[in-house]
Chain A
Amino acid sequence: MSFRSGSTREHETSDQSTGRSASPPVPESSETEAEGLIFYHMDLYGSKDRFDIFPEELSGQGDRSRGDTRRESALSSEKFQRSQEARYDLEREVAELAKMYGLDEDREKELELLGGHLEMVESRWPPAHTEKQQGLPGEASLDEDQSKAIAEDETESHVWSREGLSSSVMSDEWNSQAVSEEEEVANVFCSTCKMPIRAFDKLFGEHKDHEVAQLPSAMESEKEEIHKNMCKLEEQIAQMENFASHLEEIFITVEENFGRQEQNFEVHYNDAVQVLAQKYEEQLEALGEEKRQKLEALYGQLVDCGKHLDACKELTDATQELYLENDKASFMKVKSFNWLEEFLKKEVDLKLSTLPDFEERVIDFSEVEQLMNSINTIPAPCAPVINPQAPNAATGTSLRVCWGLFSDDTVECYQLCYKPVSNERRNGEQAEHTLKVKETYCTIANLLPNTQYEFWVSALNASGISPPSERAVYVTAPSPPTIKSKKIRSCENAALVCWESRDINPVDSYMVELSKLTDEENGNNITESIVGIPNCEVLIHLQPMQSYRICVRALNLGGSSERSEPVLIHTTGTYFCLNEDTAHPLLAILDDGFTIACDELENPECDLPVYDNSFTRCIGILGSLIPFPGKHYWEVEAEEDTEYRIGVAFENTPRHGYLGANNSSWCMRHIITPSRHKYEFLHSGMTPDIRITIPPRRIGILLDYENCRLSFFNAEIAQHLYTFTLHFQHYVHPCFALETPGILQIHTGIAIPRWTALP
């Protein structure tokens, strides 16, 4: 016992240092026992105070285990001390348990019951120890005492802990016994008597003819035996602990179940009693009524009887008077004889109008019967509570709906109903769908995107169906938007991306995800997200000379849509598109979207469609440039003999005028005079006089908001042609016009050439 150490680890090391010679099994078992005890209490009663008991001992015992002084006398005193400690522990334990039980008197009975049961189980193993105790007599008293002490200690503590009974008498007993035995030293083991004896006894005492063994070797074998038994004990302890916790669970369950059933009974019997009381009232009332009617009838009859009696008496009197009349004539005149005769002719009704006994009534007990029958069946559940939509519980085509049950009702399954919410079509009632679900959640698929659905749920069991829950409206996530890839405009530092929603219903917002593409990666990692975009358009700031993959998601309450088809954006140069709405009717845009052509200047049929925004005079078109400061460069390819006007214009430049002829456009014009190619750089109809010896076939146009310049170049030979210096009040757009039949090819996405930096 004195070898108990603070922790298993510590114990192991001390075990190794001392070797397995003397008595390692003892500390091991006591260690386990201690742990087992703590564990048991913790588990069952959750009292953390139990820890306090052992550390106090450990501090002292650590010293002892370190010292190798296993003198028996020391041991005996230690043992005594230990036994007292153990007692103290047990007493505290008992007190505590008693206190705990005292707190909950209602449970007392159950606990007693439980305790009793446990005791029964436990009683399986203490006898084994008794046997062992008997097998360890005489000279092995030390070890026997130790093991006995452990066994008893264990037994008692278990019993007490479960039973809450104090059996300190028992521990007192063995304490005194141990002390007395310790006083005489035994050195030989008598195999016959199975006890240690003094050598003196072997020679002269009662063991004279018995077989004996040396005490150490006997002790070895006995210790092994003890160790085995200790292991068994450990197993049993573990088993018991499991069983105890299991019982605890059962205990709780029983309490719950019975509580519920009590409630159930109360409700049902109350109902039945109420029904019976009601029946009783009804019956009583009916009976009273019948009685009243009968009495009334009898009374009526009695009154009639009286009247009849009076009439008879009157007649008798009248007849008597007549009888006494002496005047014959007057006597005979009186017709009252006839009158009397008539009266007598009437029969007197002497039948009872009603019977004194009451009617047989059939009492209907079927309702009560039903009530009584239903007592033993479970009640129909209460209405479940449907949860509001959780974030990210929706996709474009599915919804995850959750609900719960407030009561402890037994539910076999739930019936989930839903239908789309529609404000418009009242007449064509939307089809309801019903599902049976075991769980308290369900994922419904095959729904329409960005659509509201109404859900309600009922709980079912054998007794019936609950009322439906409140209706909850869930909404599916939107469909992924479609990026208008042909409408994307970008430059070195930004991109303007627009898209269209594929949903009829409006969405809350959009989210743009962009990933920078590098050579190694394939761009799946999102480097940036822009959220909360209210419109179908966003200007994204980017880094020059990179490639980006851009996706859009639509968001509503239900969540976000899948990603749109991605688009790639290269921030090499400026990309723009042509604004077809502005195109003159005679101007054609070829399939590539960047080649404009004019076949004839006059149209024989003058009924070409003219849009509000299109050029009417100048056969021109505007581009849609990203509204972003910085530099923008593009090129226009033209045949040498093509006459054109190219440059920039405000978005609202007059559609009925010529480009460059007003103060809202700046352009380079190429015309062919009989003598030469003529180049004009027009703004407000004015041009400098400039001659260019080589007709440029590829014109570079640099729009530089930062340096307030618009420059034209012969891109093929990097020749600067002309620069407008101007302060742009607004953003401008590229403009293109043909003056004679021909073709202009527009090139975008060109990195700004270095030679454009200076004229």
Chain B
Amino acid sequence: MALKQVSSNKCFEGFQKVFEHDSAELKCKMKFGIYLPPKAETGKCPVLYWLSGLTCTEQNFITKAGFHQAAAQHGLIVVAPDTSPRGCNIEGEDESWDFGTGAGFYVDATEDPWKTNYRMYSYIKDELPKLINANFPTDPERMSIFGHSMGGHGALILALKNPGKYKSVSAFAPICNPMQCQWGKKALGGYLGSDVSKWEAYDATQLVKSYPDSHLDILIDQGKDDQFLSAGQLLPDNFIAACTEQKIPVVFRLQQGYDHSYFFIATFINDHIKHHAKYLNA
């Protein structure tokens, strides 16, 4: 699994780099961004995985979120993978912005023609960490995950499906209940088929109900003026209700006047980095 450095830029005494590699899981070339804090030059650092939202590549987060300073300060390696396989020549993969390329939805597809390449869940869960741990000064025991929108959904399900794997989880405007929203129905139906019961395995609100009594501190920020919130794509209330029911600790902050953009993310990114640093550096 050779890594090919695509770019490297010094940033807050560390380096923001982009690598390309051949993914066994996705059977295509994949890029990911990785920020190595100054601390990584001398010791092993925890890794914080960021999952981006619909239409994004590895570039959006590393160029727009402004997380570097906080990551450098807390000594976190931040890995930002792409959001889907690319260039797999699957028919219809580029047809819409909310399905196919740039919309992997962090599931392992079971339906043809997607099931060969669209295995983002396994890629994020297994292949990528293995690659990162093999090539960078990481502490494999300490990893956390967060994301935005579809990436928020991905972060929540990865954390909820793998109790103890991630020290902490947080999300910006996550798709909390994909089974109940248009984006989710389209993606889950497309990748997993029409059997709704199979969708439950990738629905955070459903997963909460079966989450064992393992401590997980969830932080969610949501812009109040987010058009997708009002469009019913995100449905955080369902998730909050389920967590309240199941006594899963969540702090949900409805941020007055913020929308779904990276401006919103950049505003609260430090809080999230600190939230993770608290558990990763504990």
Instruction: Let me know if B256 and A688 touch, CB within 8 A.
Output: yes
A721 and B282 contact, Cβ closer than 8 Å, known pairs A689-B224, A693-B244: no
A718 interface residue per 8 A CB criterion: yes
Instruction: Let me know if B250 and A690 touch, CB within 8 A.
Output: no
Determine the main DSSP class of A at the interface with B.
mixed
Instruction: Let me know if A758 and B278 touch, CB within 8 A.
Output: yes
Instruction: Let me know if A690 and B274 touch, CB within 8 A.
Output: no
- Cα A676 to Cα B253 with chains together (Å): 15
Residues of B within 8 A of A692 (CB): 249-252
B243 interface residue per 8 A CB criterion: yes
A719 interface residue per 8 A CB criterion: yes
Interface string of A631-668 (1 = CB under 8 A from B): 00000000000000000000000000000000000000
Instruction: Let me know if B251 and A721 touch, CB within 8 A.
Output: yes
- Cα A690 to Cα B74 with chains together (Å): 26
Interface set, chain A 678-709, CB cutoff 8 A to B: 688-694
Residues of A within 8 A of B244 (CB): 676, 693-694
Residues of A within 8 A of B275 (CB): 720, 758-759
Interface set, chain A 368-385, CB cutoff 8 A to B: none
Residues of B within 8 A of A714 (CB): 249
Interface set, chain B 247-282, CB cutoff 8 A to A: 247-256, 271, 274-275, 277-278, 281-282
Among A676, A718, A719, A754, the residue within 8 A (CB) of B251 is A719
- Cα A754 to Cα B255 with chains together (Å): 28
- Cα A721 to Cα B252 with chains together (Å): 9
Instruction: Let me know if A758 and B274 touch, CB within 8 A.
Output: yes
Residues of B within 8 A of A691 (CB): 240, 250-254
Instruction: Let me know if B278 and A720 touch, CB within 8 A.
Output: yes
Instruction: Let me know if A690 and B251 touch, CB within 8 A.
Output: yes
B215 interface residue per 8 A CB criterion: yes
Instruction: Let me know if B278 and A689 touch, CB within 8 A.
Output: no
Instruction: Let me know if B282 and A693 touch, CB within 8 A.
Output: no
Interface set, chain B 165-207, CB cutoff 8 A to A: none
Residues of A within 8 A of B224 (CB): 689
Instruction: Let me know if A688 and B253 touch, CB within 8 A.
Output: yes
B20 interface residue per 8 A CB criterion: no
- Cα A714 to Cα B217 with chains together (Å): 11
Residues of B within 8 A of A355 (CB): none
Among A676, A722, A755, the residue within 8 A (CB) of B278 is A755
Which residue in chain A gives the minimum CB-CB distance to B256?
A689
Closest beta carbon of chain B to A209's beta carbon, Å: 123
A74 interface residue per 8 A CB criterion: no
Residues of A within 8 A of B253 (CB): 688-691
Q: Which among B248, B252, B254, B278 has the greatest number of chain A C-beta atoms within 10 A?
A: B278
- Cα A676 to Cα B252 with chains together (Å): 14
A693 and B249 contact, Cβ closer than 8 Å, known pairs A676-B244, A717-B215, A718-B217: yes
A-B contacts, CB under 8 A, total: 67
Among B74, B252, B254, B256, the residue within 8 A (CB) of A693 is B252
Which residue in chain A gives the minimum CB-CB distance to B246?
A693
Instruction: Let me know if B277 and A758 touch, CB within 8 A.
Output: yes
Which residue in chain A gives the minimum CB-CB distance to B250?
A693
- Cα A714 to Cα B247 with chains together (Å): 13
Which residue in chain B gives the minimum CB-CB distance to A716?
B249
A719 and B217 contact, Cβ closer than 8 Å, known pairs A693-B248, A693-B250: yes
A757 interface residue per 8 A CB criterion: yes
Interface set, chain A 739-759, CB cutoff 8 A to B: 754-755, 757-759
Residues of A within 8 A of B251 (CB): 690-693, 719-722
Interface set, chain B 204-260, CB cutoff 8 A to A: 215, 217, 219, 224, 240, 243-244, 247-256
Residues of A within 8 A of B249 (CB): 692-694, 714, 717, 719
Closest beta carbon of chain A to B268's beta carbon, Å: 11
Instruction: Let me know if A690 and B271 touch, CB within 8 A.
Output: no
Instruction: Let me know if B247 and A693 touch, CB within 8 A.
Output: yes
Interface size class of A (residues with CB under 8 A): 20 to 34
- Cα A759 to Cα B281 with chains together (Å): 12
- Cα A745 to Cα B281 with chains together (Å): 32
- Cα A754 to Cα B281 with chains together (Å): 11
Instruction: Let me know if B252 and A690 touch, CB within 8 A.
Output: yes
Instruction: Let me know if A717 and B217 touch, CB within 8 A.
Output: yes
Closest beta carbon of chain A to B273's beta carbon, Å: 9
Residues of A within 8 A of B256 (CB): 688-689
- Cα A689 to Cα B220 with chains together (Å): 12
- Cα A640 to Cα B242 with chains together (Å): 18
A693 and B215 contact, Cβ closer than 8 Å, known pairs A714-B249, A759-B274: no
Instruction: Let me know if B278 and A759 touch, CB within 8 A.
Output: yes
- Cα A720 to Cα B251 with chains together (Å): 8
Instruction: Let me know if A689 and B217 touch, CB within 8 A.
Output: no
Which residue in chain B gives the minimum CB-CB distance to A689?
B254
Closest beta carbon of chain A to B278's beta carbon, Å: 4
- Cα A691 to Cα B218 with chains together (Å): 12
Residues of A within 8 A of B219 (CB): 720
Residues of A within 8 A of B248 (CB): 693-694
Q: Which among A690, A693, A759 has the greatest number of chain B C-beta atoms within 10 A?
A: A693
Residues of A within 8 A of B274 (CB): 758-759
- Cα A689 to Cα B257 with chains together (Å): 11
- Cα A720 to Cα B252 with chains together (Å): 11
Closest beta carbon of chain A to B110's beta carbon, Å: 32
Residues of A within 8 A of B282 (CB): 754-755
Which residue in chain A gives the minimum CB-CB distance to B222?
A689
- Cα A718 to Cα B219 with chains together (Å): 13
Q: Which among B74, B219, B243, B244 has the greatest number of chain A C-beta atoms within 10 A?
A: B244
Closest beta carbon of chain A to B46's beta carbon, Å: 13
- Cα A676 to Cα B240 with chains together (Å): 11
- Cα A755 to Cα B277 with chains together (Å): 10
- Cα A688 to Cα B271 with chains together (Å): 15
Which residue in chain B gives the minimum CB-CB distance to A721?
B251
Which residue in chain A gives the minimum CB-CB distance to B254?
A689
Instruction: Let me know if A690 and B217 touch, CB within 8 A.
Output: no
- Cα A754 to Cα B271 with chains together (Å): 17
Which residue in chain B gives the minimum CB-CB distance to A676?
B244
- Cα A721 to Cα B271 with chains together (Å): 12
- Cα A714 to Cα B218 with chains together (Å): 13
Residues of B within 8 A of A676 (CB): 244
Closest beta carbon of chain A to B244's beta carbon, Å: 4
Which residue in chain A gives the minimum CB-CB distance to B276?
A758
Residues of A within 8 A of B255 (CB): 688-689
- Cα A691 to Cα B274 with chains together (Å): 19
Closest beta carbon of chain B to A714's beta carbon, Å: 7
Instruction: Let me know if B247 and A694 touch, CB within 8 A.
Output: yes
Interface string of A56-91 (1 = CB under 8 A from B): 000000000000000000000000000000000000
- Cα A759 to Cα B282 with chains together (Å): 12
Closest beta carbon of chain A to B85's beta carbon, Å: 35
Which residue in chain A gives the minimum CB-CB distance to B239?
A693
- Cα A251 to Cα B281 with chains together (Å): 95
Which residue in chain B gives the minimum CB-CB distance to A690?
B253
List 18 additional A-B contacts (Cβ < 8 Å) besides A720-B251, A758-B281: A689-B224, A689-B254, A689-B256, A692-B252, A693-B240, A693-B243, A693-B244, A693-B247, A693-B249, A694-B249, A717-B217, A719-B251, A720-B219, A720-B278, A721-B251, A754-B282, A758-B74, A758-B274
> What would be 29 A-B contacts, judged by CB atoms less than 8 Å apart?
A688-B253, A688-B254, A689-B224, A689-B253, A690-B251, A690-B252, A691-B240, A691-B251, A691-B254, A692-B251, A693-B240, A694-B244, A694-B247, A694-B250, A717-B217, A718-B217, A719-B217, A719-B249, A720-B217, A720-B251, A722-B251, A754-B282, A755-B278, A757-B278, A758-B275, A758-B277, A759-B271, A759-B274, A759-B278
- Which B residues have a C-beta under 8 Å from some C-beta of A? 74, 215, 217, 219, 224, 240, 243-244, 247-256, 271, 274-275, 277-278, 281-282
- Which A residues have a C-beta under 8 Å from some C-beta of B? 676, 688-694, 714, 717-722, 754-755, 757-759
In the A-B complex, the 9 residue pairs with the closest CB atoms = A689-B254, A758-B278, A693-B243, A693-B250, A691-B252, A693-B244, A758-B274, A694-B249, A719-B249
